[in-house]
Amino acid sequence: MAIPARAYLINKKSGLAIDIEYANPDEGARALQWTPNGNANQRFELRPTTRPAGLPPDYGYHLIAEHSGKALSAHPNWPEDVQQYNLYAPDKAMRFYLKEVAEGGFYRIVSQYPPGKVLAVKGGSTDPGARLVQVDLVNSYPDADSQLWQIQAAP
């Protein structure tokens, strides 16, 4: 599947969308999951990153919240937490690979920093308001589906 330029990111396990808490436009606003509502704090620009010379072509994406223009990132002091910050393109914590998995058109959102971590819902929760975190890849039930995301093109 081609990656759309703008999208909603829907968790496979919960059916909830990535959301910036309270549509907060500030640095450090938390990313969580919430009932899909079509608002700008749930729409993300999937911006291909600028690839430095000599690196492979799949250099990843910045996930830019439409309401704030800020990028999802691991928190600098707590890399397991996911928040939004002003985009600083060289920052590896702001680059994600979108790795399609075989079943059903779902993706793992894999962080470049910390390396190999994937975007997931904390504790595999299905509750609205549960935080987004970066965790080690889990291939077994029950947490595996909380690490899978559907990329729904936004109008």
DSSP state of 123: G
Per residue in 8-31, pLDDT tens? 999 999 999 999 999 999 999 999
Of 39, 95, 110, 98, the residue nearest 68 (C-alpha): 39
CATH of domain 6-153: 2.80.10.50
- The one-letter code for the residue type at 106 is F
Q: Mean pLDDT across the stretch 98-111? A: 87
From CA 154, how far away is CA 74, in angstroms rounded? 24
Distance (Å) of CA 95 to CA 35, 48, 58, 117, 122: 25, 9, 11, 12, 20
pTM: 0.91
From CA 24, how far away is CA 39, in angstroms rounded? 12
pLDDT of residue 138: 75
**Domain regions of the chain by residue span:** 6-153
pLDDT of residue 152: 96
Is 110 in contact with 99 (CB distance < 8 Å)?
A: yes
63 pLDDT more than 80: yes
